[in-house]
Amino acid sequence: MKGIERTETGYQPLTALAQGFIAPALTPGGFAVDATLGNGQDCLFLAQGVAPNGLVFGFDIQVGAIDLTRQRLGPAGLESFVRLFHEGHERMGERLAGRYLGRIQAIMFNLGYLPGGDKGLVTRSDTTRQALDACDILLKPGGRLSILAYTGHPGGDCEADLVEKWLNGLDPARWRHETIRPESARRPPRLHCCERIRDRI
């Protein structure tokens, strides 16, 4: 898929690959979601893509992640293009479906725990599943979804398998997706790059 580039030295870090995949879906004035704010790097990237006039909706269960994201957005002058929710992404559908149904250009998930933070505050299969279901109705045709899933922490394997099961259940007439797994790592993370297929005219 366009946006996933392999370099001569192998793949870029998966976080950079995820952003590279998402970038073509973003336009100024559009709407995007960062489903796991963490330290705000993806949120900053999304805000740069939709500003000016657009909006990014960000979710995280940790107040620390909300603060870190604000600290990153402030100096870039992008805070006014972001709405931060201190709550789980499982509420994404409830929060956004009314006004933004089928209008979101991009959604990013970087699952797991906040690096350097409390490893107990980690994404979980059941709530991840609820959030992924919401993506199916929120994304616009041509919209893109990236899911970076890790397998090295307790529960990670299970969550990564759940994500693959969810992807395999998608209607191929509405979605296409591709998975990248680095060959070198022992318990490799998986990056899923998904696109809502444009409606046929």
Please tell me whether residue 19 binds ligand SAM under the rule CB under 6 A. Answer: no
Please tell me whether residue 49 binds ligand SAM under the rule CB under 6 A. Answer: no
Q: Which of 41, 136, 153, 170 binds ligand SAM (CB under 6 A)?
A: 41
**CB of residue 38 to ligand SAM, shortest distance in Å:** 2
**CB of residue 49 to ligand SAM, shortest distance in Å:** 14
Task: Return the C-alpha torsion angle 88, 90, 91, 95, nearest 10.
Answer: 110
Segment 96-101 long-range contacts (CB within 8 Å, at least 24 positions apart): 96/33, 96/57, 96/134, 96/138, 97/134, 97/137, 97/138, 100/31, 100/57, 100/138, 101/137, 101/138
Residues constituting the chain: 201
Please tell me whether residue 42 binds ligand SAM under the rule CB under 6 A. Answer: yes
**CB of residue 139 to ligand SAM, shortest distance in Å:** 18
Q: Which of 3, 4, 12, 127 binds ligand SAM (CB under 6 A)?
A: 127
Residue type, 42: D
- How many Cβ atoms sit within 10 Å of the Cβ of residue 72? 18
Please tell me whether residue 88 binds ligand SAM under the rule CB under 6 A. Answer: yes
**CB of residue 53 to ligand SAM, shortest distance in Å:** 23
Distance separating alpha carbons of residues 82 and 26, to the nearest angstrom: 14
Please tell me whether residue 193 binds ligand SAM under the rule CB under 6 A. Answer: no
20 and 180 Cβ atoms separated by less than 8 Å: no
Residues that bind ligand SAM (CB under 6 A): 36-42, 59-62, 65, 88-90, 110, 112-114, 121-123, 127
